[in-house]
Structure 1
């Protein structure tokens, strides 16, 4: 039995003395930084205070290290091994991109759009824009035409760097948005040039790099200058542009490093989460701090396991939905195994989980079982990060045991540059989000209308508010919304949290997604969906309650990989989309919901009394998708859209009760 990677930690967080008020809890800071909030990644190099300075430092210190990698395409069309460019090579190209922007007269504060899947060209375009002090406006790869048009107009973008796959979409809105220059990552064909309207310049990235003056000076901005206007995907209305300075982003990175979460120069990171999302942004900048390598996925999420085997990453970031799929895959394999293998896995898991909770691992169980499961992610992952949504406790325990690595769950939002609260190394309690990162502090503010107060027993509860160096500079062109969200320097998150006896923070509700039933009870939809999603038969679920009704209903998307075999056993044959409408499937899913509700000891009114089975799924087995408007690009449910889409089914379920 060997020691774990971090000393066991039993109590976290530091409550600032005499900081509680009549309507809020004490201010909570990181226990290692009780008297200060840090803002720069390197204590001995305080001048490194912008994202571009972090990159320049990496080039100087780690010039020969691999930086950006992509998979080659073989003659037969299959993806080959990863090929990497060094920091020094990338730096020369970044200088040329910056020179091209300087030729256009672009400098500090000028906005640049970047549109495409994660790629080396994406990152080079970003760094080139920062070299000249420009502001990046990233566009989600999955954005539709209307959202694309809104963002480009709202941010006053006139130059867009994009992948060929997005060229037609940009050309469609170019004239309406005032786009004057499009730089395509790939070579531009004559056919593409013929489609460009008069007055618009379309060129390849290589051509753009050749367009500038070789001696064009870099004009990067200071830490208070904007690095991004990053548009949140939004569950209602138009996206909101979050104004993030270089200081905001570097402060979040500093916070991670301050907690001992460092990426090493020998590390390799797989980039597949959207670069338009702040979580991926911070992971990339954190890697730059130490000269680590980044390998980009092919662009097809269905092929990501192949990319993982080719890259063999040492650092992996994901959202709970991704990790839930890992869990489902492994557990399905175990369930289909012989009694002997199943018993061996369960015994090994229970014993190793007990060890992990004590801060150790038993090499016997790793050699017997878990080195094999670890190989599913390439065999080298030493660090996992989870963000964007709460990670269920059983999934976090599973990841630590089965993949033999540290797992850090983070909490934050675009408005605070991702990092607010994180589980520290050595802290083994699952189901919480840890303690504040040392670049910010938090407090819980009373929400009396929902009966959450800082004086609640046994644990203080309230809306999580964040203040610190990573808190944003307001919403672009939305002063009223900014004033509503930023109050006296405190960012109001809309999330309800509680501080447990060991000082850790736990998310318990979402202020905006709480509704009241007819009898007066409040229901938190997201909390319930997390509980019901534990069923292996449920892939997606939308819980709904009407204030004029006393019960809940739900729309459920079955998991094809588990429900499909179950239907075969039941003699239900045919195309899944049709066969899954069999009443037996509905009864199975409703029974699963009741079972998980009972396991979680939910009150009866919190368990849906009726469900509708959505069996029309896409190639990713999703019924709620970005394309049909039911999910945001960061995989959050768009509740108003779901309510509208399933209005007839919801009305029918209530009418039959």
Structure 2
């Protein structure tokens, strides 16, 4: 057990921030300290000797994994030459005599902003700082921190001299004039930015894409006397000065105005009177001549550092005021410093006026790392990125969605080519016609096809990204999945605002962030909803105090110490925040319905390959919305080619012409309707008429802001007349676009059920309103909440049932209980005599969803456990039979009945056992699957996976397990590297050749399988291992029943199918034993209320299995694993398990409750549990029928003190020094410390 614990802790240690594993072997050669640790040891990557503190160490500036050489190896040159030859880009070395941690600690020591910046320049003097593309050499070259300091100092001295001539009395005060910076990201922008920071002159960033009106507004509000801009913006500023719109403007410094260029030509007119226009080169030269000590400047921490204007997507931009002390909190906050454990190589391509970009740039240089700046032309963006090869990339969803769309198109083409090469290419509609884009489901693309496309894309960012951050807008889940699957870095979706700073990452709020929800009744969002919903209001340490010269908006947005974000969010039971809507852009329709256009636009843009951009328009005078749609050019052209006959000498019409054609308009109306119905949108939220726009919204045409959000005022202004005409001349049949609400659909199916089962319908019911013609199928095992409904929908449905059927049903019951319980309750109230007969009738032949087996819902404390454990569903089922009643021998499947995938499996003998495994992607399930596939006794293994990419997920998991096992056990294969690789691939291919993945869902009838797949496993499978479950110790029994209990019933039906009986091994939990005991201990029902919902669901499932065995329906056995720990060889662990989270928490807190000192726990390795489950399942010992096996490790107990001592040994050297060892505290104090460092839960008011 001690060895297992060591492996677990070592795996945990490798995941801690700031730790790098320098060796590919299983032994950790060197581990660097956490970012602010006391010691940091280095080993020479040439000779392997230790490099002592104080000795010269030559570090490669370009390698994300530290590459260090001692002085001797560096001076020899051979190793340096070999290292550089291994790469196709420049690698340089910097000589250091101190550890990086010591240098960083000195830079970030307490001080003012200017003191920290001066220490940064001095301590990192010889390191590369900022890189730009050199056209003549066609590569990036970097200036050092020393050169950067010289440029910044020269600019600062010249700036101080110029400003002091007219504003000397204001310099150094809270009334110091602001200067404006306006250009795309470039070196000169940051030279000016750092110069302002050094001498205490506030700056305001103006986005280069801002129009003249916005620039005029900002200059007038800030009364800016000096502007630093790029040459392409000079004419705007000169024009504003000439027209008298900015009377305070006296100086314009042009970043890229060369010697000899005519200022008049550049300004587009006569230079404005009273305004001096400087070339940056001469401005810098002037600064060199100033005899002022830059270190002599002292500033007030509360003085303004910068004003950042919001993008103005809904109107006039607002200026966010950042003091110098507040800016330090941003760039030195725990949420940002935590990422410095990564060797940060930054690629700057977003507007520097955007605070996320500016903050990231400053953080990079403060850590002593380097940043490359793109050359400013969008067509070279990815070429530049591949040269810089950043390790950290952050941007908006819009940026990453562009890449995602390209990936989807490439995958579509590759999949079509793959299908065309098959012996009998068919479309997924079952016809012999070549597949079209509309008929292909990309989720069904084979693993090898996705791999080919993935290889093309994973170098998009340079190939060495360690962290990919997505934020600034709502992030579609498919985008996160795409980035995680295709690229190499950890993907983190972030949430924050300019006003408040970082709020949450991965859905969880950062430490020190306080969040509450505020009712938005006009949109129907209330904190009393289930789950609570409302406007997200936050209080953070990095929050601004208000907007610049804007009392009205400050009072509106900052209330009671909280900033009101305008985002509508919800919070689940574990405190995870989810953005569901936006408040500020809503409008009301004539019938009183509120519409949030941004939410609809995200749904339509992410739901169709044909749609690139959508703008939703509506007003109080209209009863529905209309839309402006930008088609995806390539996708539309392909659709046209495939659906129209084109002569050889003709070509595809131009995109502008296509947008005017009626069939194309109808195509997009149909596409919008399809996507809307898929997301259960009501009819008024699906555009009834549309205008097709061939030109995408962009920053160039002013229809996107600098943060790539839609500029709604500009869109309204440009397209208002055309959009209004759509209301008068509808482009489609409005009636066909109407979509019923969720409550209407539930009512339709309830009445349909009653009709089909002979239940009398009250005369007062308006039957004509509830036609099933346009009603989509529903899953009655789900609750209304799981279907997307909310408390408002539950109230409407409750009223409908009362008005139409005369049955009173509490809205809360509708919200929490499965629809099957609701239907049964309604029927039992109308016709009690029919209720029992109705209980086991399928509600619709066309949907094939679950039977009605649960009665009226009730609180968990009032659950009728006798009814829950009844196997009445087996007694009345016509498809199952007892073992003693079998008088038939199952026939073999015909070729037509056997799936194509199964017929391709080779080298399987008749005596091999065919297995169905549930829960194969879980922590235990993956190791059960691994053992099954490697067992000679086992034949085909059918795995039930939810979603369309189940096979891909399983193959990824198995590949990872193979790599871990081969690395830890050592490579004993002979031959060369290529021969070993082929051997591993062959072994892996042979193993997975027995794998068959079926798409299903444990919570659905027949396990969510298609009729063909269900019949297949009913005939083929010999043994079922039911391991799948929703493992959640917070949810109630009612919440877990659809997945954990209903699935067991469906498994029992499958195992007792008349066609072929199957042996069942059910994986339960030791947690069903409330007060301990052995395998024969009986759990009393009256003690169940002390169990968690999870243990209750496992106990009920156990009783169902044992009842089926006792009544002769099946043969089987049960196992109850205890606390499952890491793999005994690889250390592979469950990162969501409480034990893992506890150990991580102890390590980070450096504290534990003293009361735990004598505690003990039992842990059993996951591989041991998996081997036992497989052995019990494959052996199918007749004597084991109905027996329960406890899989627990009572021979070896882990003491809590052993965990603490092991953590100290697993930690870096700094933990062994006095003052840093783990210490005990009283439990109360420990709880307080834990709460102070944990993400704060959302609170509702």
Following superposition, the deviation at residue 51 of structure 1 comes to 5.0
Match of 1:493 among 541, 565, 587: 565
d(CA) in 1 for partners of 2:526, 2:575? 17
Partner in structure 2 of residue 96 of structure 1:
154
Contact 2:407 2:453 in 1 (8 A): no
Alpha carbons 1:514, 1:522 under 8 Å: kept: yes
Match of 2:117 in 1: 55
Does residue 1:547 correspond to 2:620, yes or no?
Answer: yes
The aligned residue for residue 201 of structure 1 is 276
Instruction: Specify the alignment match of 2:667 in structure 1.
Output: 588
1:456-508 deviation line (CA, Å, top 9, x unaligned): 21x21111112122111321111222122212221111111111233211111
Q: Verify the 8 A CA contact 1:49 1:247 in the aligned structure 2.
A: no
Residue 229 of structure 1 is matched in structure 2 by 307
Map of 1:22 onto structure 2? none
1:287 counterpart (355, 364, 379): 364
TM superposition shift of 1:241: 1.7
Rounded to whole Å, the distance in 1 between the matches of 2:615 and 2:374 is: 30
The partner residue of 1:165 within 215, 218, 232 is 232
| C-alpha distance in 1 between matches for 2:339 and 2:109 | 21
Residues in 2 aligned to 1:586 and 1:49: alpha-carbon distance in whole angstroms: 62
C-alpha deviation, 1:651, in angstroms? 2.5
The Cα of 1:421 is off from its aligned counterpart by 1.9
Instruction: Indicate conservation of the 8 Å contact 2:516/2:536, yes or no.
Output: yes
Residue from 237, 250, 264 that aligns with 1:180: 250
Q: How does 1:427-576 map to 2 (within 5 A)?
A: 434-457=507-530, 459-534=531-606, 535-571=608-644, 573-576=652-655
Query: What does residue 357 of structure 1 align with?
Result: none
Judged with a 3 Å threshold, the aligned counterparts in structure 2 of structure 1 residues 338 and 482 are, in CA distance, closer, same or farther, namely: closer
TM-score, structure 2 length as denominator? 0.45
2: CA distance between counterparts of 1:540 and 1:167?
A: 32
Q: CA deviation at 1:280?
A: 0.9
Larger deviation, residues 124-133 vs 576-585: 576-585
Query: Separation in 2 of the partners of 1:312 and 1:348?
Result: 33
Name the structure 1 match of 2:181.
114
Structure 1 residue aligned with 2:209: 142
Aligned to 2:707: 634
CA distance in 2 between partners of 1:257 and 1:193 (Å): 46
Task: Tell me what 1:390 maps to.
Answer: 474
The answer (yes or no) to whether the contact 1:555–1:612 under 8 Å persists in 2 is yes
**Structure 1 partner of 2:326:** 248
Bigger mean CA offset, 510-519 vs 314-323: 510-519
Query: Do 1:155 and 1:229's aligned partners in 2 also have CA atoms closer than 8 Å?
Result: no
The whole-number CA distance in structure 2 between the counterparts of 1:251 and 1:399 is 30
Q: Which one of 493, 497, 517 corresponds to residue 409 of structure 1?
A: 493
Deviates more, 1:375-384 or 1:571-580: 571-580
User: In structure 1, how many angstroms separate the alpha carbons of the residues matched to 2:551 and 2:14?
Assistant: 44
For 2:263 and 2:601, the matched residues in 1 are separated by 48
8 Å Cα contact 1:5-1:406 kept in structure 2 = no
> Quick check: 1:96–1:214 contact (8 Å CA) kept in 2?
no
The yes-or-no answer on 1:300 pairing with 2:377 is: yes
Q: Distance in 2 between matches of 1:379 and 1:5?
A: 25
- Closer, same or farther in 2 for the Cα pair 1:262/1:653, shift >3 Å? same
User: How many residue pairs are counted as aligned between the two chains?
Assistant: 589
Q: Tell me, what secondary structure is at the counterpart of 1:64?
A: coil
Task: Return the offset for 1:347.
Answer: 8.0
Shift of 1:393: 0.9
Deviation (angstroms), 1:529: 0.8
Q: Within 2, Cα distance between the matches of 1:53 and 1:366?
A: 52
Q: CA deviation at 1:370?
A: 4.3
What does residue 1146 of structure 2 align with?
Answer: none
CA distance in structure 1 between the partners assigned to 2:446 and 2:302 by the alignment: 50
Q: Does the alignment pair 1:276 with 2:353? A: yes
In structure 1, the residue matched to 2:397 is 320
**Could you say what secondary structure the match of 2:580 adopts?**
strand
Cα contact 2:331–2:337 (8 A) shared by 1: no
SS state at 2:294 partner: coil
Q: CA deviation at 1:203?
A: 2.1
Superposition CA RMSD, Å: 3.1
CA distance in 2, matches of 1:555, 1:582: 15
Counterpart of 2:195? 128
Q: Does the Cα contact within 8 Å between 1:102 and 1:216 map onto a contact in 2?
A: no
Shift of 1:390: 1.2
Quote how far apart the aligned CAs of 1:163 are: 1.5
1:187 CA displacement: 4.3
Structure 2 SS opposite 1:221:
coil
Query: Which segment drifts farther, 392-401 or 304-313?
Result: 304-313
CA distance in 2, matches of 1:197, 1:509: 47
Distance in 2 of aligned mates of 1:127 and 1:588: 53
2:726 is the alignment partner of 1:653: yes
Pairwise CA distance, 1:395: 0.4
Correspondence 1:257 to 2:335: yes
| 1:317 alignment partner, SS class | strand
Offset of 1:150 from its aligned partner?
A: 1.8
Q: Which runs of 5+ in 2 are unaligned?
A: 1-9, 17-103, 265-269, 423-440, 645-650, 735-1245
Tell which deviates more after alignment, 93-102 or 643-652: 643-652
Q: 1:237 to 1:370 in 2, by over 3 A?
A: closer
Q: For 1:429-479, what per-residue CA distance to the aligned partner results, in whole angstroms no more than 9, with x for missing partners? A: xxxxx222335322112223333222221x211111121221113211112
The aligned counterpart of 2:693 is: 614
Quote the Cα distance in structure 2 between the aligned partners of 1:439 and 1:208. Answer: 44
Question: Is the 2:154–2:285 contact (alpha carbons within 8 Å) kept by the matching residues of 1?
Answer: yes
| Cα separation, 1, equivalents of 2:313 and 2:556 | 18
Partners of 1:233 and 1:633 within 8 A in 2: yes
1:422 to 499, 505, 514: 505
| In structure 1, distance between residues paired with 2:614 and 2:114 | 42
- Which structure has more strand as a fraction of its residues? 1
Whole-angstrom distance in 2 between the partners of 1:382 and 1:50: 31
Q: Secondary structure at the match of 1:262?
A: helix
Contact conserved, 1:259 with 1:437, CA < 8 A, in 2?
no
Return the match for 1:333 from 410, 413, 417: 410
Pair 53,333 (structure 1): closer, same or farther in 2 beyond 3 Å: farther
Asked whether the 8 Å contact 1:444–1:465 carries over to 2, the reply is yes
The answer (yes or no) to whether the contact 1:113–1:138 under 8 Å persists in 2 is yes
Deviates further, 627-636 or 548-557: 627-636
> Comparing both chains, which one has the higher relative contact order based on Cα–Cα distances under 8 Å and sequence gaps of 6 or more?
1
Q: Which runs of 5+ in 1 are unaligned?
A: 9-41, 352-363, 424-433
Residues 494-503 or 179-188, more deviating: 179-188
Shift of 1:111: 0.7
For the pair shown, the structure with the greater C-alpha radius of gyration is 2
Structure 2 CA distance for partners of 1:639 and 1:339, relative to 1, 3 Å = closer
In structure 1, what is the Cα distance between the partners aligned to 2:316 and 2:586?
A: 22
SS of equivalent residue, structure 2 residue 584: helix
Distance 1:256 1:587 in 2: 52
Residue 819 of structure 2: aligned partner: none
Deviation at 1:128, TM superposition (A): 0.4
| 8 A contact 2:698–2:704 mirrored in 1 | yes
Deviations 1:257-284 (A, max 9, x none): 36833364x4321111111111211211
| Equivalent-residue separation in structure 1 for 2:181 and 2:617 (angstroms) | 37
